[in-house]
Amino acid sequence: MKTFNDPKKLQRWAKAQRLAGRKIALVPTMGALHEGHLSLIAAAKKKGADEIVVSVFVNPTQFGPKEDYAQYPRDHKADAAKCRAAGATAIFFPTPANMYASDHSVWVVEDGALSGSLCGARRPGHFRGVCTVVAKLFNLAHPNFAVFGQKDYQQATIIRRMVRDLNFDLEIVVAPIVREPSGLARSSRNAYLSDDERAHALALSRTLQALKAQAAKGARPWKALQKKAWAALEKAGLRPDYVEAVNAETLAPVKTLAKGTAVLLAAYAGKTRLIDNVLM
């Protein structure tokens, strides 16, 4: 497995691979890799990539000033070992200084149609940071396709739109959410949870499963279900941030829970903000 720190070196190498006819997959991550990330590498392999590039970069521009940028878990050694074992062929560990010039001034901004709600409404500037760094990674790794997780549903939707609207020449693959046996969606931020908070956090996936069971019985008015879901999260000891039912493609709010609806939620377990979602 190759290791790159210098964006230019990655770009040169990737270009040579493409010229040689090799198919490149990119898996963008912030590291502290877990089974969820590794499933993206597996998906890239299954799709027939010759080279699988995993980027590990805690991107400062997608964090708000009061968010967890400084304490976000970082373990390059363990990440490299996991990537190698999972079949990645290259890992990219840039630094903020070699990704962003001190006078960096051009950004990729989604106008709000997709990023103005849900996490985007609570985390101003978050998707500007995400779109910008992902666009940069696409230009550096020259991927034929890039793999994202459904875990970050709004992110995957926005990246798809960015690729469509800005004519990036690659395919976006979205892989299903990997969960712990308890149902808790795997996340690098789960490392922040105390035993109690981890137990409370099970309410996220349970609430979503209960909603899915409701929807399976036929279309249901959303408002009443939303209220119940909110109460269930609170009862479990969580502080809900949002619970929304949206059109799975446009992210527009819906009035009834039915097929083609995605339910997305965010809730705090103590100080840790967790997200989860399910497709009806």
Residues found near ligand AMP in the complex (CB under 6 A)? 29-30, 36-37, 39-40, 148-149, 151-152, 175, 177-178, 185-188
Nearest distance in Å: CB 35, ligand AMP: 7
Which residue's CB is nearer to ligand AMP, number 108 or number 225?
108
The residue at minimum Cβ distance from ligand AMP is 149
Nearest distance in Å: CB 173, ligand AMP: 10
Nearest distance in Å: CB 201, ligand AMP: 13
Nearest distance in Å: CB 146, ligand AMP: 9
Which residue's CB is nearer to ligand AMP, number 30 or number 131?
30
Nearest distance in Å: CB 1, ligand AMP: 18
Half-sphere CA count of 203, side-chain side, radius 13 A: 23
Annotation says 37 is catalytic = yes
Residue 150 corresponds to which tokens in the numbers above? 């459904």
Spatial CB neighbours of 276, under 8 Å, sequence gap ≥ 6: 151, 177, 185, 204, 205, 208, 264, 265
Active site residues: 37
